[in-house]
Amino acid sequence: MSAQRLVGLSAVLPALAIAFVVRYRRALEPIPQRRAWAWRRLWAGFPPPQSPLAALVWKHGREMVPVGLPVFGVAVMLSLLAAATAATSPRNDPFEVAGATLILFAATAGIVLSVLLGVGTFLDDLRPGINTFWRSRPISPHAWFWTKFVVGLGVLLAGAAGLPGLALRVVTGPSEASFAALCLPVALGLYALTALTTTLVRHTLYAGALAAGVAAIVHAAAEVTAGSGFEGGPLTAPPAAFAAAFLATFCAATVFAWQAAARDWSVPQGRG
């Protein structure tokens, strides 16, 4: 085994062992005895919101921020691990390696997180009993949708655009910048698509599968219209064509999701 792999394993295995022991111990504790996470105590330290709109933003922020933190936290940990591994060789620049790794994993994590946020942002409030209850209250469906959508979008942009943007300060390669620039529109389009499908079908697996299927169709359409039609590979179209296609998808899906949420549109599901 090479020295670089030994360094990587020595950094990862203790962290995984500690995390497993801590999480397993917490899982065995009764629910009333479990201590709140530090971020929950941090949120509790702020004064309560005074207006209905601020209350919606507060509620959605508490729900969405914990979804994004672990995903992008893994990307940061992997970049630090790559930097530690690169430091064992004098030919590598640890900062360059860490930045390139952070761009790779943060941009990819943004695509994964877009589905998680798209489903998690809307699904709970659209369950039959909860949906009927809050729509009977003096809550604007438009304000409900846009606060949820914007908060989730902010979490997505903070990681999928913010982290690669910081990493590009130390990475000078054009390939990393083009990769991050391509992944961001894909993540945005997939986020809006998942929000739309979640609003319509109101099922976790179905919403994610439908959004991924539509995203694949958008990718194929961009490849056929601006590329060689998959004859030379799956990515022969210029990156600008993919970016434009997914940004247009983001705009269209956002409008349809807004109308579906405001008008309470849903697809009837048969009983299995």
Residue 162 confidence (pLDDT): 85
Residue 44 confidence (pLDDT): 58
Residue 261 confidence (pLDDT): 94
Residue 64 confidence (pLDDT): 80
Residue 166 confidence (pLDDT): 78
Residue 165 confidence (pLDDT): 79
pLDDT by 10s per residue, the chain, length 272: 444 444 444 554 455 455 544 444 444 344 444 444 555 555 555 666 667 777 777 777 777 888 788 878 888 887 888 777 777 777 777 777 888 888 888 888 888 889 989 998 899 899 889 999 989 988 899 989 999 999 999 999 988 888 887 787 777 667 777 888 889 999 999 999 999 999 999 998 999 999 999 999 999 998 888 877 666 566 677 888 999 999 999 999 999 999 999 999 988 765 44
Residue 270 confidence (pLDDT): 53
How many CB atoms sit inside 10 A of residue 195's CB?
Answer: 30
Are 112 and 190 contacting, i.e. CB atoms less than 8 angstroms apart?
Answer: no
Residue 234 confidence (pLDDT): 62
209-241 as b/e: b if 16+ CB within 10 A: ebbeebbeebbeebbeebbeeeeeeeeebeeeb
Q: What does the domain layout of the chain look like in residue ranges?
A: 1-35, 48-263
* CA-CA-CA-CA torsion sign (195, 182, 109, 56): negative
Residue 175 confidence (pLDDT): 77
Residue 41 confidence (pLDDT): 56
Residue 6 confidence (pLDDT): 44
Nearest to 230 by CA among 216, 244, 243, 251: 216
- In SS3 terms, the chain reads as CCHHHHHHHHHHHHHHHHHHHHHHHHHHCCHHHCCCCHHHHHHHCCCCCCCHHHHHHHHHHHHHHHHHHHHHHHHHHHHHHHHHHHCCCCCCCHHHHHHHHHHHHHHHHHHHHHHHHHHHHHCHHHCHHHHHHHHCCCCCHHHHHHHHHHHHHHHHHHHHHHHHHHHCCCCCCHHHHHHHHHHHHHHHHHHHHHHHHHHHHCCHHHHHHHHHHHHHHHHHHHHHHHCCCCCCCCCCCCHHHHHHHHHHHHHHHHHHHHHHHHHCCCCCCCCC
Residue 51 confidence (pLDDT): 73
